[in-house]
């Protein structure tokens, strides 16, 4: 029996000019996860992260705190379905409202902007809106399905323990694949996946089972966030 541990990156800089950067809280979440894994005696056989800076930095901080000597690799198929700035731009066009949260005249309350952000993600999942130069949900799932098939293939040696640092959309899509869920389930999973959470997938001989989802018991309450 082998295991994939899917970790969402630490909190990114939501609403800032550049989303793809860990906030100070996100850095603390990554460090705390590494400290917890070290205390638990966890030792992955490999660590993989997606191509985004927040994913790479989460993996780097975690490794520094855990003392892992595992190989760390980047994999492009573990990218998120879209970047925050792309979703903001799509939301503004789709809904016809400003997505600014700074001190400008067109600024709006954070909870209103977050609601529109979520509505745009849901509309994309339902095929009601296109995010420019990005895949549809069907194609996004397809590339992750191919990645998962390679990692869990029957010819893979047993006893592997891979830590995968990626984003909420990718984790939601992978859980849909493992559980055989339709696209309509993707958004429901996406919206609850918390920063630095851990989702465990057991596999053997090409068969996968979900062991746990969205766990944050390794984090103190002060470091538990969803956005």
Residues 134-157: pLDDT tens digits?
Answer: 999 999 999 999 999 999 998 888
Asked if pLDDT for residue 199 goes beyond 90, the answer is yes
Do 75 and 83 contact (CB within 8 A), yes or no?
A: no
Measure the CA–CA gap between 126 and 215, rounded to whole angstroms: 27
Do 68 and 161 contact (CB within 8 A), yes or no?
A: no
Residues 6+ apart with CB under 8 A from 28: 10, 223
Asked if pLDDT for residue 104 goes beyond 60, the answer is no
Do 25 and 9 contact (CB within 8 A), yes or no?
A: no
For the stretch 34-84, pLDDT in tens is 999 999 999 999 999 999 999 999 999 999 999 998 889 999 999 999 998
In this prediction, residue 221 carries a pLDDT of: 94
pLDDT band at 111 (very low <50, low <70, confident <90, very high): confident
In this prediction, residue 13 carries a pLDDT of: 83
Output Rg (C-alpha) for the chain, integer angstroms: 17
């Amino acid at each position: 029996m082998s295991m994939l541990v899917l970790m969402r990156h630490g909190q990114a800089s939501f609403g800032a000019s550049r989303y793809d950067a860990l906030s100070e809280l996100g850095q603390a979440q990554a460090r705390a996860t590494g400290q917890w894994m070290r205390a638990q005696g966890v030792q992955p056989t490999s660590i993989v992260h997606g191509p985004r800076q927040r994913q790479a930095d989460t993996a780097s901080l975690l490794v520094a705190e855990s003392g892992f000597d595992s190989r760390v690799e980047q994999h492009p198929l573990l990218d998120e379905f879209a970047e925050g700035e792309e979703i903001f731009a799509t939301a503004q066009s789709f809904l016809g409202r400003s997505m600014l949260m700074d001190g400008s005249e067109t600024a709006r309350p954070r909870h209103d902007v977050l609601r529109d952000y979520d509505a745009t993600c849901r509309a994309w999942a339902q095929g009601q809106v296109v995010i420019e130069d990005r895949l549809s949900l069907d194609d996004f799932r397809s590339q992750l399905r191919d990645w998962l098939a390679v990692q869990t293939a029957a010819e893979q040696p047993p006893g592997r323990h891979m830590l995968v640092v990626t984003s909420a959309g990718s984790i939601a899509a992978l859980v849909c694949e493992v559980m055989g869920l339709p696209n309509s389930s993707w958004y429901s999973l996406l919206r609850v996946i918390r920063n630095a959470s851990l989702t465990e997938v057991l596999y053997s001989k090409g068969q996968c089972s979900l062991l746990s989802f969205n766990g944050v018991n390794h984090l103190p309450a002060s470091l538990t966030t969803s956005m």
